[in-house]
Structure 1
Amino acid sequence: MENYKLFLFTLSSAAVVGILAIIFVLRWVLHFQPGLGWNGGLAEFNWHPVLNVCGFIILQGLAIIVYRLPWSWKRSKLTMKIIHASVNLVAFIFAVVATVAVFDFHHVAKIPDMYSLHSWVGLAALILYCLQLVLGVGLYLMPFTPISWRAAFMPVHVYSGLLIFTSVIAVALMGITEKLIFSLTNPKYKDSPPEAIFVNILGLFLVVFGALILWIATRQSWKRPSEQTLHSLNSNGGDEDGTKVSQLSEGTEAEAFETIRQRNNKCDDQVN
């Protein structure tokens, strides 16, 4: 992998920021808000930000970059597809439960549903995410799907994944702002009380996490090599567990890697 140290730094930074975002959202609902519960009240509503941050943002981000982890390159492509789909499925379940929580809260509190831009874009992102998951499983995990279909749909699949991910972060920022405006009355949000500052920092963490994930996901030099490339490298002296792949960054082995990669990349990467 080219710039392996930079990759590790970026990945570590994303992990730290993601963990901080989870800590902050939990601290927000447990300290500044009335905690978590499932009784139709504010405690039930609080599952909405917690599950969306943990699942719809953090887990979805992990699913996006799972192919980029060099120590996973020793695993078969099918194994990584299953992991990618499984993490996305868990994230989707989190998002569905979060959505049910807010609708249930609205029903008990007699609050209208689907009146804000936050709710419109959020529900659209959830529906698109469901469609993305179903089509992804159907096209890339079903053995009877024609390779030509997989190759044709791959640019749409990649673009849609990144679009949904960025949209979910935007929706989260809208929801955070909306929640603070509604809940902070004395002092008001505009007066910057401690809760407002604390939650604004949470929003910044989500933006930084999204930026780091997008950077990792869009670097061509950090892309998983083709299966033929990995096989050729292992056949030419790589360790059995494939760990040598992530260490090829200079010398003759790196040159051989790049030559093989350029020859095979066009066909195989279309079905990555």
Structure 2
Amino acid sequence: MAIALKATIFSYVVHVLGVAGAIMVLVWCISFRGGFAWEASNKSLIFNLHPVLILIGLIIFGGEAIISYKTLPWTKDVKKLIHLVLHAIALILGIIGVYAAFKYHNESNIANLYSLHSWIGIGVIVLYGIQWVYGFVVFFYPGGTDAIRRESLPWHVLFGILVYILAISNATLGFLEKLTFLENSGLAKYGTEAFLVNFTAVVTVLFGIFVILTTLSQPATEDEYAYSEI
């Protein structure tokens, strides 16, 4: 009972941090950076799509997808579908977010893939895509044999958590990189925007931590709702 209560509290914290992170990145990009556009003379409006789609998509939807299978009180088939769909949304938004960064660079005559953040980002998207496709084929459709599922599940879970940790780390690196560029262009180092960006990064890290804590704190049960029965 104590373990289940702890897991429930962790999941509530995840949701609160997710909402807070989404609001903070939207406030930053709308109120401080001028909003969004797919086509604009001000190319920074194109870039603003990148942090919003990555944080809300890859990080928040991705985190909710991870904990959904462990926290929702429904049958394994329903939870499996929700897990799959949330990860698909996360991946699609993440891909669009990465493309927005490339579009901004290309239209601003800025080189692509010159930073560690960009290198890791491409790796995260590729690994996330591989993880999703493998999960779809083995656990959803057409579905692997019982033996393949049983052998694959621990590695699927471990690989997914590692990719997610890498995504959180790279998102934090991205906030640092962008803030450094802005400060080098004259943004006040102790101004409101700088603090907002830093706190958004902190909330992102805390969100990732509580996603992992929620996942690891769930009690292991062997019934039709169990994670191991995927």
Coarse TM-score class (shorter-chain normalised): over 0.9
Q: Is the 8 A contact 2:6 2:217 kept in 1?
A: no
TM-score, length basis structure 2: 0.92
Task: Tell me whether 137-146 or 100-109 shows the greater mean CA deviation.
Answer: 137-146
Cα deviation for residue 2 of structure 1 reads 4.3
Is 1:61 aligned to 2:63, yes or no?
A: yes
Is 1:91 aligned to 2:90, yes or no?
A: yes
Q: How does 1:37-186 map to 2 (within 5 A)?
A: 37-39=37-39, 41-69=43-71, 72-73=72-73, 75-185=74-184
Q: Is the 8 A contact 1:55 1:94 kept in 2?
A: yes
Q: How does 1:216-231 map to 2 (within 5 A)?
A: 216-221=214-219, 223=220, 225-227=222-224
Q: Secondary structure at the match of 2:141?
A: coil
1:225-264, Cα deviation, whole Å (9 max, x unpaired): 422xx6xxxxxxxxxxxxxxxxxxxxxxxxxxxxxxxxxx
Cα deviation for residue 51 of structure 1 reads 0.6
Is 1:200 aligned to 2:198, yes or no?
A: yes
**RMSD between aligned residues:** 1.9
TM-score, length basis structure 1: 0.79
- 1:209 corresponds to which letter in structure 2? F
Cα 1:200–1:42 change in 2 (3 A) is same
| Divergent runs of 4+, >6 A | none
Cα 1:224–1:29 change in 2 (3 A) is farther
Q: Secondary structure at the match of 1:119?
A: helix
Q: Is the 8 A contact 2:7 2:218 kept in 1?
A: no
Q: Is the 8 A contact 2:30 2:36 kept in 1?
A: yes
Q: Distance in 2 between matches of 1:151 and 1:55?
A: 29
- 1:213 corresponds to which letter in structure 2? V
Cα deviation for residue 80 of structure 1 reads 1.4
Tell me the percent identity: 30
Task: Tell me whether 88-97 or 39-48 shows the greater mean CA deviation.
Answer: 39-48
Quote the residue 1:4 is aligned against.
4
Aligned length, in residue pairs: 228
- 1:49 corresponds to which letter in structure 2? P
In structure 1, the gaps of 5 or more residues are: 231-264
1:131-163, Cα deviation, whole Å (9 max, x unpaired): 000000000012552111111111111011111
Q: Is the 8 A contact 1:67 1:224 kept in 2?
A: no
Q: Secondary structure at the match of 1:39?
A: coil
Cα deviation for residue 193 of structure 1 reads 2.0
Q: Distance in 2 between matches of 1:188 and 1:24?
A: 18
- 2:101 corresponds to which letter in structure 1? V
Quote the residue 1:17 is aligned against.
17
